[in-house]
Structure 1
Amino acid sequence: MTMRKEPQSKRLRAMAFSVAAIISSFAAAPDVLAADKLDTSRLVSVGGDVTEIIYALGEQGRLIARDTTSMYPEAATKLPDVGYMRALSPEGILAMNPTAIIAIEGSGPPEALNVLKSASVPFETVPNAYTREGILAKIDRVGDLLAQPDKAKALEDRVGADLDAAIADAAKRPESERKRILFILSMQGGKIMASGTGTAADGIIKLSGSVNAVGNFPGYKPLTDEAIVEAKPDVILMMNRGDGSGTTNEDLLKQPALALTPAAQKKAIIRMDGLHLLGFGPRTASAVRELNAAIYGS
């Protein structure tokens, strides 16, 4: 006896029903709640700066998982990893059975966020701006979501005072002595991907009282050889990836256009921990001081 094949439309309807059933299993959770009603007893944190703030507030006991960028403090690395903040896996997050997710602005992709929201897991976003005020706004937002406004205010006061002192020290340097910094995100296929304006790299360079050598375009973009020579950077700044996968100093200095710059001729290459340098969290004042010491020797 031959078996009749099930029509494709029927199979698709059955598949859609199965997906809906999975999502509905989470639907018992309430819709996104006001901050003072948000259940953060089982919290997933997305964004290294968000995770740092949660620890700085002393509220890490709520955390059940974090994203790949959450590498500080070291205790955070012991938590389950739900993936890179811009390439989240909704299945992995939902498997943790969270009561809420707190994520830095720009997390994604949008499709993953849609699945999470369909599952009625509260997904709260923390604004991101690469300034002193932006850091304090993050702390305020996280404190509000955790219903810890007093702790957040105390942390804001400490962090704000520390930032003010670090920025004031950097600002004492005369403009004529300020170095031109070229932040290189990567070098693939011989092309240098550098930071323009509106980026974390641009923000930390400005806080340190230095000058972004290519601050005439927004975001990150590959530079032409002409643009590299015209930028005349005094210093090259990069993230220290720590896994040996990044471009070596020797490779940088072999790049023909870069070799013509003052930075390459003086071998002035600075590498710093990426989260510390670009995280714009509670430790940013420390990053400003470390960067200044590396650039200017004091």
Structure 2
Amino acid sequence: MSRHSIGAALLFALGAVPASALAEPHPDAERIVAIGGAVTEFVYAFGAGDRLVARDTTSTFPPEAMALPDVGYMRQLSPEGVLSMRPDLILAEEGAGPPEAVALLKSAGIPYEEIPSGASPGGVLAKADAVAEVLGVADGALRAALEADLTRAAKADRAIATPQRVLFVLSAQDDRLLAAGAGTGAEAIITLAGATNAVSGFQGYKPLTDEAVIAAAPDAILMMDRGDGATDPEAQKAQVLAMPAVTATPAGKAGRVIRMNGLYLLGFGPRTGKAALDLHRALYGGA
């Protein structure tokens, strides 16, 4: 199966998953703690932001979410911190943790609904369905808009004859690039944008040797802009481009480092289709 056929298949692979198989409805919940950036975005997108009383550290969009109390990073939750918000529903994305904290929250007598994670287009649609089901709201308009965005991204993908090779760099420390391999959200968004992951042969994230960077021969390097003010984006870009191995690649020679907001790029929430199209434009140009 070609890469473009795979991209088209991904778009609809999970879109038909019934929401009722994913979550139980809680239409009367009025004190919701949302855990996971995409989950929080979907709650606001469905017009239910006024039902939230807290969010986790990854929930940075929309801006209104930042005014909510922060219960901590979604993979390092404190049960006490979550329960101190007196929630009548905990709405968490799959992967929240640690496991013992989640077990305590599930045993606290408060509904705990887990929203499936998913980095494919169909997975994003299933996520939307699940959040809507839990909130007890109709998701028709939002789902249609999201599906339209994803379809536009898939069409843009199919229009590319020679996909660019993109290297996603999570961090650059000690003159080593920590890059995204197979099975990562980074690879998924790169594929959805009509490009291909410049590295293969490993799962997850791995530090690359200089030889591996040169062999990857990326046309562009993609990085997250965390927007936390802790890192100077231009300084980090200059640091990456100054690495000897990077200077030997097409991306290094062209000075092509693309930076995008981390949650926008890898959140796989309601803005996923737009993020893929923005990355596509950054790689190939066009309106």
TM-score (norm 1): 0.84
Give the Cα–Cα distance (whole angstroms) in 2 for the partners of residues 225 and 169 of structure 1: 33
Equivalent of 1:273, from 233, 238, 261? 261
RMSD across aligned positions (CA): 1.5
Q: Which letter does structure 2 place at the counterpart of 1:75?
A: E
Question: What amino acid does structure 2 have at the position aligned with 1:190?
Answer: D
Task: Please say if 1:153 is aligned against 2:140.
Answer: yes
Of 139, 142, 167, which residue of structure 1 is paired with 2:154? 167
Say whether the 8 Å CA contact 2:219–2:251 is kept in structure 1: yes
- Answer yes or no: is 1:287 the counterpart of 2:275: yes
1:189 is displaced (CA, Å) by: 2.2
Out of 134, 140, 146, the position equivalent to 2:123 is 134
How far apart, CA to CA, are the structure 2 residues paired with 1:39 and 1:99? 9
Give the distance between the partners of 1:285 and 1:107, measured in 2 at CA. Answer: 24
Contact 1:35–1:147 (8 Å) recurs in 2: no
Q: Map 1:83-102 to 2 at 5 A.
A: 83-102=72-91
Corresponding residue of 2:19: none
Q: How does 1:15-54 map to 2 (within 5 A)?
A: 35-36=24-25, 40-54=29-43
Which residue does the alignment assign to 2:231? Answer: 245
- Which amino acid in 2 is paired with 1:189? D
* 2:188 is the counterpart of 1:203: yes
**1:112 corresponds to 2:98:** no
Contact 1:39 1:100 in 2 (8 A): no
Larger radius of gyration: 1
Among the aligned pairs, what percent are the same residue?
Answer: 49
Q: What is the CA–CA distance in structure 1 between the aligned matches of 2:160 and 2:225, rounded to whole Å? A: 27
Comparing 186-195 with 135-144, which one deviates more in the overlay? Answer: 186-195
| Aligned mates of 1:296, 1:152 — CA distance in 2 | 33
Deviations 1:214-255 (A, max 9, x none): 133211111122111110001000001222426611211222
In structure 2, the residue matched to 1:189 is 174
The one-letter code matched in structure 1 to 2:152 is A
What is the Cα deviation at residue 37 of structure 1? 5.1
- Match of 1:236, SS state, is strand
2:197 to 212, 222, 242: 212
8 Å contact kept, 1:143–1:152: yes
Could you state the TM-score of these two structures normalised by the residue count of structure 2? 0.87
Q: Deviations over 1:155-177 (max 9, x none)?
A: 21221122102221232111x2x
Structure 1 range deviating more: 208-217 or 245-254? 245-254
Q: Which residue of 2 aligns with 1:255?
A: 243
What amino acid does structure 2 have at the position aligned with 1:179?
Q
In structure 2, what is the Cα distance between the partners aligned to 1:165 and 1:113? 37
How far apart in 1 are the matches of 2:45 and 2:175?
41
Conserved? CA contact 1:44–1:102, under 8 Å? yes
Structure 1 outlier segments of 4+, above 6 Å: none
- Structure 2 distance, partners of 1:36, 1:97, is 19
Instruction: Report what 2:62 is aligned to.
Output: 73
